[in-house]
């Protein structure tokens, strides 16, 4: 019988094993040291990286032990890498005097990267209301886009069916979906009012009501607050919202509402430094005056008690 002339080549076990191992190795995430100069912040990153005491602690820990948890980054079209999780770690490395940082590089689309970015930061205890508000909004928008996108064959995507987007955002945060909605409302505040919320000059609940005011009305409210030297209570904010929805909110209405005496003011006793200064040495600080007043009141209270017992 004639030979076909073809030679059959059988792959050895070693070659098969080596090929499978190399494929698995390619799929396995690797930790890589990347220069800090090539790491760029996430676009519209809502979390503030501040050089506060906690950051100094982070930098000190990095000096002593290094970066224990690698950052997550994704390649940028314009070169370098965009940080998805690890902005504080990068700043800690800069303060610690390092030139590189360990990272895991992942190919992520915008929505997947946004969700990871928010989830990796949202558990921090010291988040400002504005940080939480914009983070929830970014994740909500990303989830809505994923839910509305047709699923490709073989594509693995999270199962969001049967849930509100705000419910998905709320998962793992300790917040109800309604509270998530209320936080997202804060993104409608003008920056000046939102700063006042962050600085605790305006409480959260009144701030949610004020978020329903038009932008020009919010700007006028700043003037009314400044002229009356007051910030709105919840009931005042609710009335401002009602007047706005009825189309009857003017600067005069705002000033009239802000000039009202709040119940908390009626219950408060205020002693100015001017009133007290004549009773104390000129060199005394307000704290020293306060301490002395407390001592005098305690002494007066004890004498009253003794007289009542006789």
Give the residue-averaged pLDDT of 113-127: 87
- Give the pLDDT score at 281: 84
**Same domain flag for 194 and 178:** no
User: What's phi and psi for 74, nearest 5 deg?
Assistant: -135, 150
| Of residues 4 and 224, more confidently modeled | 224
Residues 6+ apart with CB under 8 A from 216: none
Q: Is the pLDDT score of 152 beyond 70?
A: no
Whether the CB-CB separation of 230 and 258 falls below 8 Å is answered with yes
For residue 17, being part of any structural domain is answered with no
Which of these three, 156, 184, 212, is where a domain ends? 184
- Give the pLDDT score at 226: 93
Give the residue-averaged pLDDT of 80-96: 95
Q: Is the pLDDT score of 162 beyond 80?
A: no
For residue 309, being part of any structural domain is answered with no
For residue 219, being part of any structural domain is answered with yes
**Same domain flag for 177 and 240:** no
Give the residue-averaged pLDDT of 93-104: 96
**Same domain flag for 242 and 221:** yes
Integer CA distances (angstroms), 193 to 213, 245, 293, in order: 12, 19, 36
Residue 292 banded pLDDT, cuts 50, 70, 90 = confident
**Same domain flag for 171 and 228:** no
**Same domain flag for 136 and 79:** no
For residue 233, being part of any structural domain is answered with yes
Summarised one tens digit per residue, pLDDT across range 225-280 is: 999 999 999 999 999 999 999 999 999 999 999 998 765 554 556 666 667 777 88
Q: Total domain count for the chain?
A: 3
- Give the pLDDT score at 156: 43
Nearest CA to 218 among 205, 204, 232, 229?
232
Whether the CB-CB separation of 17 and 79 falls below 8 Å is answered with no
Whether the CB-CB separation of 91 and 62 falls below 8 Å is answered with no
- Domain, as residue range, for 177: 123-147+165-184
For residue 21, being part of any structural domain is answered with no
- Give the pLDDT score at 158: 57
| Of residues 67 and 288, more confidently modeled | 67
Would you give the distance in Å from CA 235 to the centre of its chain?
27
**Same domain flag for 195 and 240:** yes
What does the mean pLDDT of the chain come to?
84
- Give the pLDDT score at 153: 41
Give the residue-averaged pLDDT of 91-112: 95
**Same domain flag for 178 and 200:** no
Lowest mean pLDDT among 100-114, 146-160, 237-251: 146-160
- Give the pLDDT score at 10: 57
Residue 129 banded pLDDT, cuts 50, 70, 90 = very high
- Give the pLDDT score at 296: 84
- Give the pLDDT score at 171: 87
For residue 91, being part of any structural domain is answered with yes
d(CA 92, CA 59): 4
CATH classification at residue 59: 3.90.1530.10
Whether the CB-CB separation of 90 and 83 falls below 8 Å is answered with yes
Hey, CA dihedral for 296, 300, 306, 310, is it positive or negative? positive
Nearest CA to 197 among 260, 293, 132?
132
Please state, as a whole number, how many other Cβ atoms lie within 10 Å of the Cβ of residue 227: 13
Whether the CB-CB separation of 34 and 73 falls below 8 Å is answered with yes
Which range, 190-194, 288-292, 300-304, is most confident?
190-194
- Give the pLDDT score at 16: 55
Residue 294 banded pLDDT, cuts 50, 70, 90 = confident
- Give the pLDDT score at 262: 65
Whether the CB-CB separation of 203 and 234 falls below 8 Å is answered with yes
Q: Is the pLDDT score of 155 beyond 80?
A: no
For residue 135, being part of any structural domain is answered with yes
For residue 10, being part of any structural domain is answered with no
**Same domain flag for 211 and 248:** yes
d(CA 86, CA 101): 10
Please state, as a whole number, how many other Cβ atoms lie within 10 Å of the Cβ of residue 119: 16
């Amino acid at each position: 019988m004639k030979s076909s002339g073809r030679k059959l080549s059988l792959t050895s076990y070693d070659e098969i094993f080596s090929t499978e191992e190399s494929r698995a190795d390619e799929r396995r995430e690797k930790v890589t040291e990347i220069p800090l100069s090539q790491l760029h912040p996430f676009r519209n990153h809502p979390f503030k990286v501040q050089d506060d005491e906690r950051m100094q602690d982070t930098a000190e820990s990095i000096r002593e032990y290094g970066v224990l948890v690698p950052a997550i980054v994704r390649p940028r079209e314009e070169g370098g890498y965009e940080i998805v999780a690890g902005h504080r770690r990068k700043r800690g490395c800069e303060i610690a005097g390092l030139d590189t940082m360990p990272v895991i590089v992942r190919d992520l689309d915008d929505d997947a990267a946004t969700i990871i970015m928010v989830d990796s930061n949202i558990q921090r205890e010291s988040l400002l209301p504005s940080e939480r508000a914009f983070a929830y909004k970014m994740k909500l928008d990303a989830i809505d886009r994923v839910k509305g996108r047709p699923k490709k064959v073989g594509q693995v995507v999270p199962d969001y069916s049967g849930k509100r987007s705000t419910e998905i955002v709320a998962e793992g945060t300790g917040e109800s979906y309604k509270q998530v909605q209320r936080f997202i409302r804060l993104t409608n505040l003008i920056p000046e009012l939102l700063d006042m919320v962050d600085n605790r000059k305006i409480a959260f609940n009144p701030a949610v009501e004020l978020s329903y005011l038009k932008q020009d009305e919010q700007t006028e409210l700043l003037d009314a607050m400044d002229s009356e030297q007051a910030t709105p209570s919840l009931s005042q904010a609710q009335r401002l919202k009602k007047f706005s929805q009825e189309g009857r909110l003017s600067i005069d209405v705002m000033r009239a509402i802000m000039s009202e005496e709040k119940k908390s003011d009626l219950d408060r006793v205020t002693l100015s430094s001017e009133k007290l200064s004549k009773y104390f040495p000129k060199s005394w600080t307000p704290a020293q005056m306060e301490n002395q007043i407390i001592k005098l009141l305690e002494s007066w209270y004890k004498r009253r008690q003794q007289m009542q017992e006789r």
